[in-house]
Every structure is written in C-alpha cells, then in structure tokens.
A and B are shown apart, each in its own frame.
Chain A
Amino acid sequence: MYGEPLWFAVGVAFPLFSSFGFAFLYRSSGASALAGFAVLGGIAVSFWSNVVWSMASQFYWDKQEGLFEIYLVSPAPTSAILAGMSLGGFLGTLPSALLVGLVGWRYFGSSVSPSWGLVGASFALTIVALYALGMLLASLYLAYGRQAESLNDAVQSTVSMFSGLYFPTIGVGSPFPFALQVGVSLIPFTIGMDALRKSVFAPADPRLGLDLLVLAALCVGFVVAARRMAEYMRMKGRRDGTLAVRLR
C-alpha cells in the first residue's frame, strides 16, 4: 500500500462511510452519545476488511494465479508466510484506520476518558486474534474456497453483525438471546470489540479484566489452530494432489 497510495483511497471508503452512516443513525435515534461506538466500529472494520479480503482469500487467489506453488516450495513454513502477510496487512491498514478514528472523533466529538493502557492491551489482543482467525480462514478457503468474492461478502457482513462492530452483542444491551450470545463469543472479534468498547467508554467496568483474559486465551487458541490447520491443509493438498488445481 505504501508503494501505491491509491490503495489508501480504496481501503478507507467502506470503514469511513459505514462509521459515519451509523454515527448519524445513532444521532438521529436520539443517542448522540453512542456515536462513538460507530467510530470505533469503523476503525475495527478497517482491519476486519483487510483480514477477509487480503488474508482469508489470499491463498485462494494466489493458487488461481499460480503463486501458491512458489510459496510451498520455498523453505519458509506456511504459517510464517501467513504471519508475514498479517503483519503487512496490519501495517497497510493502519493509516486508513487512523484516519477513520481521527475524522470520526473530531466530527462526532465523543467525550470519553479512556484508559490508554487498557485500550492498547485490548487493541493488541484483538488484532492478534483477528489475524489468527484470518490465518485459519486462509487454510479453509484454500481447501474449500470457491467463488471467494461471494464467500467474502457473506463472511464479512455476517461476522460484522454478530460480533457487534457497531453495538454490543454480548452482555447488557445485546439484542440476541443468551444461547446466541454464547455462540458469537467464540468469534474472537466479539470479545475484542466488547473489550475495546469498555476500555474506551467505561474503563472502570469490572468485566473488562475477564474480557481480556478470554481474549488472550482465544489468541493462543486461534494461533495454534491456524498453524496446525495450515500444515494439515498443506499435507492434505499434497496427498490429494489438489494444491495446484485451479478450478474445482
């Protein structure tokens, strides 16, 4: 992205418009104080879009273009390539996420007094869990991916809704029944967004510590699962002879 600034304009559109749209919706609903939720969601959705479009489906697209074989014959482990893609994706997305945050906070002027240490911890853990999910999805797309665009659209919008990018989906205020709240808590983004909202808007909330603990556990779990899945899919693909098959 830093080599081609036009990608910045590509990446910033969706998070900026959606955060402003939902912030205006909060304002028109008589809840101007909650517009900050929409801005925070806009920052998070920048990274989520990057995970879906540039992580999850990347191996699938690389396979279609014949690049994936080059990754496989290189001495690097598959998980290391995915980790490098994560780091690059995060750094590439950071400027657009910062812009959304700055413009949103400036315009909607949420008066908050966050605990920056807790915000940093929540953000770091959320990002690690999110990109670990992206690594896991990359392996799944590689094995079962077909029409990555359709899958991406479905996954992106559904996870955005269930994980509560713009409103709480777990705990007090959630519109979901309890069983569904338990289910959506398995998406690391859900706990991450809950922790981020609490650390920004209610840093004294005693449940924030629990959120961070669960999030840390999810990070470890997803990183381990992503590594194992990458190796498993690679071995399975070699056995079945499908690693270089373009269209199935």
Chain B
Amino acid sequence: MGWKRDLGWGNPALGVILRAVAPVASALTAAIVYWYGASQAGLFDPSRLAYVVIGATLYGQISAYAWVPTSAIAEGKSSNVYPQVYLTPSSSVPYLAGRCFASFLESVPMVMVSFLVSAGVSVAFFHSQLQLIITPLSAGLAVLAMVAVFPSALGLGYLLGSYSIFASKFEWAVPSYISGALMILSEALFPASVLPWPLSAVAESLPFTYFMRATRDALLYGSYGAYLVDVGYCLALSVPLVVLGLVAFSYGERRGRSKGFIDRKSL
C-alpha cells in the first residue's frame, strides 16, 4: 500500500520506471543538444558531454524534491491534511522536512538510473564514452554532495511553501520555475560565465552552483581538494537560504492563520 500510495502504481517496478523516464529523457535531450551543437561547430569534447550529463541529471533531481513542500501544502489543503498538520504541537516545519527528505531518498536511485542510461546511450548514439570517474570513493563523494545541498533545497522549499499557503493556481508552475531557474543559473548545462551580468553573479552566489561543481570535481575531474572547497561553499551558502526559508515560512503561516488561509481550499 505504501508503494502504491507513493508511486501511484500497484506494480513498484512500473512506478519506478515511469518516474525515471522523464529525468532520463531530459538528461539525454541536453546531451544531444550539446552533441549536435558542438559537432556542428567542430568542437565536440567527450568530457564536456559528461559535464552536461552530470548537470542535466542533478538539476532535475533538486527541482523534484525542492517542490515537495509546495505540493504538500497545496495538495494538503485540498485533502485537509495540511490544516491537521498545522494543528499539531510541532507545526508543519518538521513535517515538510520529512516529506522533502523522503522525496530526496526516492530521487537518488533515479539519478543513478539516469547516469547509467545516459552512459549507455552516449556509446550507442554519440560513439563516445562518458568520461566519468566511477569508483566507490567518487560515487560516495557525489552522494555526500547531494546530502550537502539538501539543506539549500529544503530552504528553497520553505521559501516557496510560504507562498503556497496563499496561492490558488501558481503553485502548479513552481516546479517549472525551479527547474528552469536551476537549469540556467546553477551551471547545470554550461558555465556561469556564459550568462550575462547580473545573472552570472547570481549563479556564482547560489549553493546549487557549488553543488554542481563539487559533483563534477568528484565524478569528472577527480579533484578532491576542489571538491572540499566547493562542498564548503555549498554548505556555507545554504545557511542564509535555510534561515530565509524558515523566516518566510513562519511569517507565511502566521499571516495565513490571521487571514484565514490555512484551511481555505479555493481562492
């Protein structure tokens, strides 16, 4: 029942496959765009292909679970779960953190499937091996980087969740805005230097950018010193985002209560 409820399918394997299709297709689309553009320009570089595949897989993962607080509130209001959670003594902050963490755990296997499929397809379609360093150490460091960026994604989730308390329709566009912003601003597909100012400066100040760099340090460059620095930046930059998210969410709940939005289903 747990699988069925969470994946929406009676057959867990089918549920997992259906959930993996979209991130795999998105990562491959980005890989093909790079391959096509670079090949036409005569500048194809297999390590850059790996750079794109890593980023394309990971930004989708972050956006998938950073949206969870928003959807938990939006769906929870219509199913009356959110008002009940709000009434509990510890409020909704730990509830949303738990939902977000569960989604994070679910997304890790999807990332692995994306990497494996992308590696296979690269050989089949582009006749090029993905130049990834896959060792227990590099894989462990990549997972550690995913854990390091989790607080930032949670902070972003609280920030967006505070809006979701009052939203009526726009919350359904939030995943597109998160994944779109991460696609452009987190060095997911291309270096921040490609962006015009001030977008490049924004990208340099986001923890997600350093998460991408750290993962590439581990899986692509094998540069473990740079990895530690980038994980450090990622963690340091997550602090203001988490604080901002918690403050905004706390304010949102207080205001939502005073204005009667906590249990309002349609606006």
Which A positions have Cβ atoms within 8 angstroms of B? Answer: 4, 6-7, 9-11, 13-14, 16-18, 20-22, 24-31, 34, 38, 146-147, 149-151, 153-154, 156-158, 160-161, 165-168, 173, 175-176
Which chain B residue has the least Cβ–Cβ distance from A147? B8
- Quick one: which of B15, B34, B43, B183 contacts A18, CB cutoff 8 A? B183
Residues from chain B with Cβ under 8 Å of A168 in the complex: 36
Q: Tell me whether A173 and B8 are in contact (CB under 8 A).
A: no
19 further A-B contacts with Cβ under 8 Å, apart from A30-B42, A34-B40, are: A7-B169, A10-B176, A13-B180, A17-B183, A17-B184, A24-B195, A25-B37, A25-B189, A27-B194, A30-B37, A30-B41, A150-B19, A153-B18, A157-B21, A157-B25, A158-B25, A167-B33, A168-B36, A173-B39
Is B247 on the interface with A (CB-CB < 8 A)? Answer: no
CB contacts (< 8 Å) of A16 on chain B: these are 180
Complex formed: what's the CA distance from A24 to B34 in Å?
Answer: 10
Q: Which of B15-73 contact A (CB under 8 A)?
A: 15, 18-19, 21-23, 25-26, 28-30, 32-43, 48, 52
User: Which residues of chain B from 144 to 173 have any CB-CB distance to chain A below 8 Å in the complex?
Assistant: 168-170, 172-173
Contacts A/B (CB < 8 Å), 21 sampled: A10-B169, A10-B170, A10-B173, A14-B180, A16-B180, A17-B176, A21-B184, A22-B33, A25-B30, A25-B34, A28-B190, A29-B43, A31-B38, A34-B36, A147-B8, A149-B8, A150-B8, A153-B19, A161-B29, A168-B36, A176-B125
Residues of A near B26 (CB, < 8 A) are: 157, 161
**Bound complex: CA A10 to CA B176 (Å):** 8
In the complex, A153→B26 CA distance in Å? Answer: 10
B181 an interface residue at 8 Å Cβ cutoff?
yes
Among A10, A13, A25, point to the contact of B190 (Cβ < 8 A): A25
Q: Which residues of B are found within 8 Å of A13, using beta-carbon distances?
A: 173, 176-177, 180
Chain B hits for A27, CB < 8 A: 190, 194
Top 10 A-B residue pairs of the complex, sorted by shortest distance between their CB atoms:
A17-B180, A31-B37, A30-B41, A29-B37, A28-B190, A13-B176, A157-B25, A147-B8, A10-B173, A154-B21
Q: Are B32 and A167 in contact (CB under 8 A)?
A: yes
Closest residue on chain A to residue B125 by CB atoms? A175
Contact of A150 among B18, B32, B180, B188 (CB under 8 A): B18
Contacts of A156 in B (CB 8 A): 22
Task: Tell me if A175 and B126 are in contact (CB < 8 A).
Answer: yes
Report whether B125 and A6 are in contact in the complex, using a CB–CB cutoff of 8 Å. Answer: no
State whether B52 touches A25 (Cβ < 8 A). Answer: yes
Which of A4, A25, A157, A173 is packed against the most chain B CB atoms within 10 Å?
A: A25
Cβ–Cβ contact A158 & B40, under 8 A: no
Residues of B with C-beta under 8 A to A157: 21-23, 25-26, 29
Instruction: Check B184–A24 contact: CB distance below 8 A.
Output: yes
Which positions 88-139 of chain B face chain A at CB distance < 8 Å?
Answer: 125-126
On chain A, the residues within 8 Å of B28 by CB distance are 161
B contact residues around A24 at 8 Å (CB): 184, 189-190, 194-195
CB-CB < 8 A to B181: which residues of A? 17
| Contact A21–B36 (Cβ < 8 Å) | no
- Kindly state the separation between the CA atoms of A22 and B190 in the bound complex, as whole angstroms: 10
A17 to B22, CA, bound (A): 17
Task: Give the distance in Å from the alpha carbon of A9 to the alpha carbon of B176 in the complex.
Answer: 11
> A154 contacts B22, CB within 8 Å?
yes
| Residues in chain B near residue A14, CB distance under 8 A | 176, 180
B256 at the interface (CB under 8 A from A): no
Contacts of B169 in A (CB 8 A): 4, 6-7, 10
| Complex: chain B residue closest to A151, CB-CB | B18
In whole angstroms, how far apart are the Cα atoms of A11 and B169 in the complex? 11
Contacts A17-B183, A157-B26, A175-B125 given; indicate if A25 touches B9 (C-beta within 8 A): no
Q: Whole-angstrom distance from the CB of B238 to the nearest CB of chain A?
A: 23
Contact A29 to B34, CB < 8 A, known contacts A21-B189, A146-B9: yes
Neighbouring A residues of B19 by C-beta, 8 Å: 150, 153
User: Does any Cβ of A come within 8 Å of B179's Cβ?
Assistant: yes
Counting chain B CB atoms within 10 Å of each CB, the highest count among A14, A151, A161 belongs to A161
Contacts A17-B180, A21-B184 given; does A173 touch B36 at CB 8 Å:
yes
- CB-based nearest A residue for B14: A150
Q: Is B232 an interface residue (CB 8 A)?
A: no
Q: How far is the CA of A160 from the CA of B28 in the complex (A)?
A: 11
Whether a CB of chain A sits under 8 angstroms from the CB of B191 is yes
B32, A161: Cβ atoms closer than 8 Å: yes
B8 nearest in chain A by CB position: A147
Bound together, the chains give a CA A175 to CA B95 distance in angstroms of 45
Q: How far is the CA of A4 from the CA of B36 in the complex (A)?
A: 40
Minimum C-beta distance from A24 to chain B (A): 5
Contact A9 B29 (CB under 8 A): no
A166 proximity list for chain B (CB < 8 A): 29, 32-33
